[in-house]
Chain A
């Protein structure tokens, strides 16, 4: 158990819908990262937050957004969902930006 929690574990929804994925980092970790794992794209970095502020952006679609709250938990919002958004979404956390990233169990999103 990495100490990073993600909810829900599974999510099934329809095209055009909006969902929110939630992540709680390990105790003491200030950085939160979101990654997407799909069959065709592999593991791709989406976005990083550090202590509530956006630190870096990767290949994150405009339909996707995220935030990190004062209690350091983070949410990834996916809107106008398409079939191609079906993937495993991981959250990771680290103490600061340079520390090892520990991953949560992931949220498997299925868009029908």
Chain B
């Protein structure tokens, strides 16, 4: 079974603070892909990052960084020096390597981040 858990329902931080959003996943597949999407108040889903299961190298993109640890089945997302524009709901998602060709995403329940000015 495929499952993504985002235990943090809501997080509030003051502007310029760092914040980490947690994501834990479950899958029996040896090859899979992990994603983070952002849903701002306007409602669209914006792709942030994709990581495959055989690449555990952490990644930094500007103020964003991702920590993928296969040993703990976690794919956490850190925003450094948060800004008000970072306020959104963030979704972690899993896509298993389905041999039938199904490539749908399994989403977590999301973490609502509010950055207070």
Contact = CB atoms under 8 A, between A and B. Distances in A.
A56 B101 contact: yes
Interface residues of B, number: 20
Nearest to B109: A42
Contacts, number: 60
Interface in A29-54: 31, 33, 35, 42-45, 48, 50
Interface stretch (A13-21, A61-69, A73-81, A95-103): A95-103
A56 B100 contact: yes
A97 B96 CA distance: 11
A44 to B, nearest CB: 8
A103 B37 contact: yes
Given A43-B91, A48-B104, A108-B43, 13 more contacts: A33-B105, A42-B107, A43-B110, A50-B101, A55-B103, A92-B45, A94-B103, A101-B103, A102-B47, A103-B44, A104-B44, A106-B43, A106-B45
Interface of A: 2, 31, 33, 35, 42-45, 48, 50, 55-56, 58, 88, 90, 92, 94, 97-98, 100-106, 108
> Top 3 nearest A-B pairs by Cβ distance?
A56-B102, A103-B45, A45-B104
